C-alpha cells in the first residue's frame, strides 16, 4: 500500500489576514488561524496518523501543535519544509507590489519562475528541497501509513507540480486555502484544497498567492 501524505496548509497568519507577503518571515497565527487549526485537529481526530511533521516557521508549527494536542502524536520539525523566500517582497502587501513599475506581482503570478522577486529563492531550488524532504518522510513510513505534514502554500504547490509533471511556472494555478488539506499518495494526487472541515472559517485574504 502507498503511504498517504496529508498536506495541510497552516492556519491563517496575521500577515495572511492583511495580504502581506511573509515568505520565511516568522509570523504568528491570527485568531481565525487558531480556530482553523482547531477545526483541522477535530477533522483529523478520525484518522490514524503515524506521524506529524511541520515546517519550523511558527505559523505552521503552532498549527501542528494544536492538531497534535488531541492526538497524542509528537510533532517533528523539518527545516526543508519552510516556505519559499520572497526576498525584498517580504513584509510588503500585495497592493504595494502591484503599485511598483511594471506590476511585478502580475508577472510573478503569470510566471513565478521568470518573475522571481529580487532576492527570492528560485523555485527549482524550492522544489528540490521539498521533494527530497517529503520522499524521506514517505520512506520512513511505509506500508500505507498516513502522515500529516503541516507546511505552506508554496511548499505544497511545488510538490503537486512534481507529482503531476507540471511546469513550475504553473504552480499558482491551484488554490490552497489556509487550513486546507491536500492528500497525496506519491505520485498520485488524491484530493486538493479540502476545506469542508473549516465550516465557514475560510478566510478572505488567505489566498495561495500570499505565501
What DSSP element (H or E) covers 79?
Answer: none
- What is d(CA 62, CA 155) in angstroms, rounded to the nearest whole number? 17
Q: Other CB atoms closer than 10 Å to residue 97's CB: what's the count? A: 19
CB 150 within 8 A of CB 55: yes
Q: Which of 141, 152, 162, 197 is catalytic?
A: 152
* DSSP 8-class letter at 82: S
Active site residue 162: no
The SS3 call for residue 86 is coil
Alpha helices in the chain (DSSP H): 31-44, 58-69, 94-98, 104-110, 123-140, 153-164
Q: What residues does 4 pair with on adjacent strands?
A: 146
- For residue 118 the three cell numbers come to 529580487
Active site residue 152: yes
Mind telling me the catalytic residues? 10, 152
Amino acid at each position: 500500500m502507498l503511504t498517504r501524505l496529508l498536506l495541510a496548509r497552516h492556519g491563517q497568519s496575521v500577515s495572511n489576514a492583511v495580504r502581506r507577503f511573509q515568505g520565511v518571515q516568522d509570523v504568528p497565527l491570527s485568531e481565525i488561524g487558531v480556530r482553523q487549526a482547531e477545526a483541522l485537529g477535530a477533522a483529523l481526530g478520525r484518522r490514524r496518523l503515524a506521524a506529524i511533521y511541520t515546517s519550523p516557521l511558527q505559523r505552521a508549527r503552532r498549527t501542528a501543535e494544536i492538531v497534535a494536542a488531541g492526538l497524542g502524536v509528537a510533532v517533528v520539525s523539518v527545516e526543508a519544509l519552510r516556505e519559499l523566500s520572497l526576498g525584498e517582497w517580504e513584509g510588503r502587501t500585495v497592493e504595494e507590489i502591484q503599485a511598483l513599475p511594471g506590476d511585478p506581482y502580475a508577472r510573478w503570478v503569470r510566471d513565478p519562475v521568470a518573475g522571481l522577486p529580487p532576492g527570492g529563492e528560485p523555485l527549482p531550488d524550492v522544489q528540490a528541497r521539498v521533494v527530497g524532504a517529503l520522499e524521506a518522510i514517505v520512506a520512513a513510513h511505509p506500508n500505507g501509513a498516513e502522515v500529516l505534514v503541516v507546511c505552506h502554500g508554496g511548499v505544497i504547490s511545488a510538490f503537486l507540480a512534481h507529482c503531476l509533471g507540471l511546469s513550475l511556472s504553473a504552480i499558482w494555478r491551484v488554490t490552497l486555502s489556509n487550513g486546507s488539506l491536500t492528500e497525496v499518495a506519491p505520485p498520485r494526487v488524491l484530493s486538493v484544497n479540502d476545506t469542508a472541515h473549516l465550516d465557514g472559517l475560510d478566510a478572505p485574504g488567505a489566498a495561495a498567492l500570499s505565501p
